[in-house]
Amino acid sequence: MSEERSRILVIAGPTATGKSSLAVELALNLGGEIVNADSMQVFRGMNVGTAKPTREEMRGVPHHLFDVADPDEPFNAARFRSIAIPVIEQLARKGSPCLVVGGTGLYIRALLGGLFQCPEASPELRSRLRKEWEKGGGAAMHDRLRRLDPAASERIHPNDQVRVIRALEVIELTGRPFSSMARGHRFREEAFDALKICLYMDREGLYERIHHRSRRMMEEGLLDETRTLLDRGYSENLKPMRAIGYRHAVMCLRGEWGHEETVQRIRIDTRRYAKRQFTWFRGEGDYAWRTGEERDRMLREAEAFFSRSP
């Protein structure tokens, strides 16, 4: 007889849908703890721009996998999984319900279904591809990816230099599309027994929340936070520093954009990001979609999930 898998409640969904506050409320009712699954909130010193919950917003609920890496440390789905699994297993041993919360779909997929083996990075090839990016621009590189691997190009934003280059690198090293390797693996290890909930709201409501969040980030010190990171020696070209909010703040600090233009550009890019997140989670196919107003329903579902017999 196989060993019973640990149970986890996954709260996923696009940015600004209210995942963090919902998770805290559910955790308080369940006596549970939260494991972060946001690829930016793992970094130290990046709080305002990542909408990391404050100590007050955590309301005493233990939160894990926040502030586990510096902005110049490599951090990916494999490292996330290697840190998250021991935490989840520890929570299972002491009988604390575990809520995995975040909008980084790849991290959640990797946690639940494992990772497929990719060839190791080739420094020479990667250096050449980076030079091609610098010379010809990201749009040209993304067009190349679209020709070689249309499915991967749909998943990867044209401005995501790291992922575009990695996908092209894998194609050159293996002669196979990056997306076909992912499909072949299918992320089906089923390491955990998961109840998966994805939050959604109508577009008008979500855009309104994004509108207010973008301005609030500027008011709460996004520029100062970015300036502090730069002063500490973190390059503006680091992957976390190219994320939404931080790359915009850099342009504002340079004087290339004014305050209002910066806010507006953050709004536009955040809306685009939320749309890509919706597309990702719809593509997963096994989430229960709920609105923020269905909190009582989600609590009942979570209670039944954690209390059912093996």
Mean pLDDT per 10-residue section of the chain, whose length is 310 residues: 79 97 98 98 98 97 98 93 96 97 95 76 86 92 92 85 87 82 55 95 96 97 98 96 97 97 98 94 92 96 92
In this structure, the answer to whether residues 110 and 159 fall within a common structural domain is no
In this structure, the answer to whether residues 165 and 191 fall within a common structural domain is no
CA distance 264 to 157: 19
**Angle (deg, nearest 10), helices 161-174 and 138-148:** 40
If you compute the radius of gyration of the chain from its CA atoms, what whole number of angstroms results?
Answer: 20
3-state SS assignment for residue 49: coil
Q: Tell me whether residue 296 is in a domain.
A: yes
* Residue 207: per-residue pLDDT: 96
CA distance 31 to 44: 27
* Residue 107: per-residue pLDDT: 95
Which domain-ending residue is among 135, 166, 185?
185
* Residue 40: per-residue pLDDT: 98
* Residue 185: per-residue pLDDT: 45
Q: How many domains does the chain have?
A: 2
3-state SS assignment for residue 79: helix
Cβ burial of 242 (10 Å; 0-12, 13-18, 19+) is middle
In this structure, the answer to whether residues 95 and 36 fall within a common structural domain is yes
Which domain-ending residue is among 185, 201, 219?
185
In this structure, the answer to whether residues 276 and 202 fall within a common structural domain is yes
The H-assigned helical ranges of the chain are 19-30, 55-58, 77-93, 105-113, 123-136, 138-148, 150-155, 161-174, 178-185, 203-219, 222-231, 246-254, 259-284, 295-307
Q: Tell me whether residue 64 is in a domain.
A: yes
* Nearest CA among 71, 39, 48 for reference residue 235: 71
Convert 9-36 to b/e letters by CB count within 10 Å (16 or more is b): bbbbbbbbbbbbebbbbbbeebebbbbb
* Residue 143: per-residue pLDDT: 94
In this structure, the answer to whether residues 296 and 156 fall within a common structural domain is no
3-state SS assignment for residue 103: coil
Determine contact, residues 210/267, Cβ cutoff 8 Å. yes
In this structure, the answer to whether residues 94 and 134 fall within a common structural domain is no
In this structure, the answer to whether residues 104 and 198 fall within a common structural domain is yes
* Residue 177: per-residue pLDDT: 84
* Nearest CA among 170, 188, 189 for reference residue 179: 170
CA distance 173 to 103: 30
| Full domain range(s) for residue 101 | 7-115+187-307
